[in-house]
Amino acid sequence: MNTIKIHLIRHGATDANYKGEYIGCRTDLPLAPEGLNELRLLKDDIEYPEIERLYSSPMLRAKQTGAVLYPEKQIIPVEELKEYDFGSFEGKTAAELESNPDFLPWTSGKLTAPPGGEENSDFIKRVCIGFNRIVVDMVNGGYKSAAVIMHGGAIMMLLAAAGLPRRSPVEWTSENGRGYSLLVTPSLYFKSGAFEVYGII
């Protein structure tokens, strides 16, 4: 049975990552100098998978990561893979939001979107649509391997929605520059929407 390998890799660190700020699709930050250096050291330390195709969130931090890890590959942007819209929580830390009456309900799941932000269900749906576009493109082109540079929240939600084994989003966290390897069997994926998570990067 024909299968394809897709490697989801979280982008390198930004200044906001070091500060613990919620940064989503509203702020197009570059990688921090320290994050860029850490990414280069990581590339020397671990063996990133060989790939035929390189897809990425259209955001700068993701595209910069792709250029560092796979400089010889053309980056194919996938609009739906942008990070979550944090609404009025954008650019703030958890400590800064402690007194916000909407923050605790949102973190506990009682509120499904930050004020002015994205519904969780809409976020999951668009990320899954973006991933499906990648699978279709690979099948149509006869490609067997790809890397996808994504955001931490997008990886968590995609794997919680479609990854096997089934796990909650918080069980699919990844450090900057790290991620997960997927085995996709197109005939089964297009029927069930599911794929196997077989490795950690």
The tens digit of pLDDT for each residue in 39-56 reads: 999 999 999 999 999 999
The terminus-to-terminus CA distance of the chain in angstroms comes to 25
How far is it, in rounded angstroms, from Cα 135 to Cα 113? 28
Higher-pLDDT residue of 112, 154: 154
Residue-wise DSSP of 73-103: SPEEE-GGGPPP--GGGTT-BHHHHTT-TTH
Q: Picking from 1-10, 100-109, 122-131, 186-195, which range would have the lowest pLDDT averaged per residue?
A: 100-109
Q: Is the pLDDT of residue 128 over 90?
A: yes
Write out the E strands in 40-178: 53-56, 75-77, 145-150, 163-164
- Quick: pLDDT tens for 104-124: 889 887 778 999 999 999 999
How far is it, in rounded angstroms, from Cα 21 to Cα 30? 14
Domains observed in the chain:
4-85+119-200 (3.40.50.1240)
pLDDT band at 1 (very low <50, low <70, confident <90, very high): low
% the chain with pLDDT above 70:
100
Q: What's residue 7's pLDDT?
A: 99
Which of 177, 161, 172 has its CA nearest to residue 68? 177
What mean pLDDT, rounded, does the chain reach?
95
As given in the structure block, the two tokens for residue 176 are: 């900057």
Bridge-partner residues for 150, per DSSP? 10
